[in-house]
Amino acid sequence: MEIRSLTKALRLLDALGEQPGTLGVSELARQLELDKSSVSRMLRTMEQSGYVEQDPKTQRYSLGIRMGVLGHKALRRLDLREAARPFLEALAEETGECSHIAILADNRAFYIDQASPRRGVVVDAPIGTLAPVHCTALGKTLVAFQPEALREEILAAGVLEPFTRRTIVDPAGLVRHLDSVREQGVAIDDEEFSIGVRCIAAPVFRYDGAVCGAIGVSGPSPRVTDERLRAWEPRVKGAAAELSARLGWEEDGFAVSPEGASVRVRT
């Protein structure tokens, strides 16, 4: 009996969480196919503990502050590296190339994990690698989706070193390029950091809409043709979106722009 009551209470919380507004007792009872008296009792009990709130004017219910506190604690404890692991492995197997995930650290792309396919020679970027942000796919992704003020600060702090003849070293040109990355939702390193290596990456967002990482795939340029990059793009974007959802990001198809507004990420 207690297990059934708990299951009903959890269903109530789920129903309230899926509703952007409020719900009345009759609506919840009808939606969950429960009797009104049981729904009313459970709601009153959960209200006393702060898990739901009742509007004193409309008598309708919504999730309470206690649920927000618990959700925030759960999200803070979720480890990005651990959460990303299955997505890295899947990308490596699907593409046949090495996949990576990086975060922004000291104004550079800090590689926190990677996965290699079972066969073949791959482009290796050891965990702990610090790479420049202006000429790597992961780095450009991490910078492109930052708020404008922070993006300018990051770019001003670094030197646009020409690692290859393809490296973008013109500040204005780099800003335009990053605008394109943000618009397209994906960044490509076309032998800009190392001759013979091409990469593609997409942003990972956390629960509050801020970019917290970048996930991508790298490979030798003879294998990584334009055709393969086009084929990988939806896979990399998809992995980034699924990982973002795992981290609590709920804005389906949208990211936070430098001005704070939502912009569509093309898929």
pLDDT at res. 256: 41
CB 50 within 8 A of CB 66: yes
Residues 231-236, mean pLDDT to the nearest whole number: 97
Instruction: Using the predicted structure, report yes or no on whether residue 258 has a pLDDT greater than 60.
Output: no
Number of domains in the chain: 2
Say if residue 70 is in the same domain as residue 141: no
Say if residue 175 is in the same domain as residue 258: yes
Q: Which domain holds residue 152?
A: 78-264
Say if residue 36 is in the same domain as residue 84: no
Residues 120-147, mean pLDDT to the nearest whole number: 87
Q: Which of 70, 56, 60 is nearest to 10 (CA)?
A: 70
**Is the whole-model pTM more than 0.75?**
no
Q: Rounded CA gap, 186 and 233, in Å?
A: 7
pLDDT at res. 14: 86
Say if residue 48 is in the same domain as residue 149: no
Instruction: Using the predicted structure, report yes or no on whether residue 10 has a pLDDT greater than 50.
Output: yes
Residues 2-9, mean pLDDT to the nearest whole number: 80
Say if residue 137 is in the same domain as residue 22: no
pLDDT at res. 266: 35
Domain boundary among 75, 95, 117: 75
Helix or strand or coil: residue 91? helix
Per-residue pLDDT reduced to its tens digit, 18-40 = 777 888 999 998 988 898 988 99
**Distance (Å) of CA 169 to CA 27, 52, 155, 173, 250:** 60, 54, 11, 8, 36
Say if residue 141 is in the same domain as residue 92: yes
